[in-house]
A and B are shown apart, each in its own frame.
Chain A
């Protein structure tokens, strides 16, 4: 029998991963403490998916909201394809309010974790805007998409015809972290864009890829996209 609290090897291994290793057991069952922390993390993941991004936060960054055809969160989970198409109303609002054919279009979406937006937007969003302008580039009119999937950038691309696109979207939550953000980037996303043309910086959160540094780097990537007029696997970084 190895004691998880005193065994040096277990202690050392645990320092290298946030995964649930060396959590101990009593008989054939986990310890109450470990079981409760599992339930808490699971609940946090569920909350992240079913949570909502607060109006206050969106107002703070002057983002208006449009919806995809996701209807409800339950439906959103069953039909990922509906998260890639915009509602009729969304199309109208976007056409009405957004600057057409911008150099860089920035869009924020809750995706599978509203918490990711809540936690990271205050650091990523302003740093991203700084980084885009530091590279001498112009942004269009940014907005928020409720119930979006990564592919919704193609639908928006059809409407606004931007040169480059940045989508900040909440990642599928795990049991270690429920507030991780991804930044997807694409050169001229349109209907039928291949996945290999998209690029991503993932795992953006306090304990992963540093939010402000990720944002600072996105400007460099966008600049290269515009110079080389391509993105994804073909882009030389």
Chain B
């Protein structure tokens, strides 16, 4: 039993916009002696758009009309209809991820991009998707060590570290091609506010309307490149913390290989710019930054591996890799699906490997009260809880879990219409049955398993794709 589904990807970035259509092959792995299972056996891109300049009204706001025209044209070109689209993701990145744009885009997509297309934003997810599209995630399964994907575009460098096919860390630098813009004679047109403190810390005065020389720009780009690479290799230099966005990890594990993607990543394969006109080919420092990065990599003990995709890494990651399938023994009634934009809270079942019903119930109460404050539960909008650190599930443990959950729901959020649980271990159907038995009356119980929920804080649950298994995507919505 196998089935192809169609998924689209749309990446609306600070400088460029791309669109792809991909096909995912869902295969059942049921051998009739085991519990059924299914997996995504193949992913391929069947259409990819040219790279467009993101249509902007001004420096920050998207021109929705032009974007609409662009999408209509691309749907026509790719010869797919809205009804054919089973899944997909739109990722809004960089400056364009501002709230005003994001809301418009989501509203627009709800009507025109297909029912199952999700919108996401946020630098950490963007970094992970780029790493999936560039091949970094797959590579980390082939080698023993950690693979870093560095996705450098116009405004930011999003770094995601992968180990054994899983994202383990993400962080972001204010390093990108369009942070400094200039013309062919070296006149500076724009310097991003984000990098001014750092520029001053390295003793560099650079503002719009001054003229910069090739050597000065080379030095800035070179220092930037070393900031990035030295930080990744665990020995920060040149005030690199001034370029780092909040939330970067204190400790970086030893990295074996590095893959560069994004627009600047692609330019690293190009010839090095020797003169100012060559640097200012796109009216920014992108080509020079790419060149200095290539030079800088030689000083660090990390192997550089070419990316499968550079500029299109994020859009391919969004379109092809954002969709996963749940386990095939789950508890969900298709009549209640799909459900989109469900906030996802993680709660550990055990503490230091020890199961204690009281402690679990306590954590559950806290999480639910917290959720009731954060999200508007009154109008019955659902909430999903992800169970982490679940030990071997005996019947006794299952009963205890279900008792605690039902008690907590009826006390903390009695108005909630859904009880949704997500876990990694294969136990969703059993948990769902146990919950439905206790509190299924008047409530919709949904339990899904075999889902890695480590990165993301919202989940979309799609329709069944093969047997009982449903398509899901875990995402972040930074602007929500």
Question: Contacts A134-B437, A199-B32, A237-B36 given: A215-B430 contact, CB under 8 Å?
Answer: yes
Q: Is B30 an interface residue (CB 8 A)?
A: yes
Complex formed: what's the CA distance from A122 to B397 in Å? 12
Contact partner of A131 (CB less than 8 A), chosen from B32, B33, B144, B433, is B433
Q: Is B427 an interface residue (CB 8 A)?
A: yes
In the complex, which residue of chain A has the Cβ closest to the Cβ of B397?
A212
Q: Is B299 an interface residue (CB 8 A)?
A: no
Question: Contacts A8-B144, A131-B433, A213-B329 given: A200-B394 contact, CB under 8 Å?
Answer: no
Q: Is B236 an interface residue (CB 8 A)?
A: no
**What DSSP secondary structure best describes chain B's contact surface?**
loop
Complex formed: what's the CA distance from A110 to B437 in Å? 30
Complex formed: what's the CA distance from A200 to B432 in Å? 23
Instruction: Assess whether B32 is in contact with A213, with CB atoms less than 8 Å apart.
Output: no
**What DSSP secondary structure best describes chain A's contact surface?**
helix
Instruction: Assess whether B394 is in contact with A216, with CB atoms less than 8 Å apart.
Output: no
Complex formed: what's the CA distance from A217 to B428 in Å? 10
Instruction: Assess whether A213 is in contact with B30, with CB atoms less than 8 Å apart.
Output: no
Contact partner of A123 (CB less than 8 A), chosen from B34, B395, B429, is B395
Inter-chain contacts of B434 with A (CB < 8 A) = 130
Contact partner of A237 (CB less than 8 A), chosen from B396, B427, B436, B467, is B467
B468 CB to nearest chain A CB (Å): 8
Instruction: Assess whether A212 is in contact with B467, with CB atoms less than 8 Å apart.
Output: no
Instruction: Assess whether A134 is in contact with B433, with CB atoms less than 8 Å apart.
Output: yes
Instruction: Assess whether B32 is in contact with A212, with CB atoms less than 8 Å apart.
Output: no
Using an 8 Å CB-CB cutoff, how does the interface string of A176-220 with B read, 1 for contact, 0 for none?
Answer: 000000000000000000000001111100100111111111011
Using an 8 Å CB-CB cutoff, how does the interface string of B33-44 with A read, 1 for contact, 0 for none?
Answer: 111100000000
B364 CB to nearest chain A CB (Å): 20
Instruction: Assess whether A130 is in contact with B33, with CB atoms less than 8 Å apart.
Output: no
Inter-chain contacts of B101 with A (CB < 8 A) = none
In the complex, which residue of chain B has the Cβ closest to the Cβ of A128?
B395
Inter-chain contacts of B432 with A (CB < 8 A) = 216
Given A130-B434, A202-B33, output 20 extra A-B contacts at Cβ < 8 Å.
A8-B144, A122-B396, A130-B437, A131-B433, A134-B433, A200-B33, A201-B34, A201-B35, A203-B33, A209-B34, A209-B35, A210-B393, A210-B427, A212-B430, A213-B35, A213-B426, A213-B428, A214-B35, A219-B433, A237-B467
Chain B interface (Cβ < 8 Å from any Cβ of A): 30, 32-36, 144, 329, 392-396, 398, 425-430, 432-434, 436-437, 467
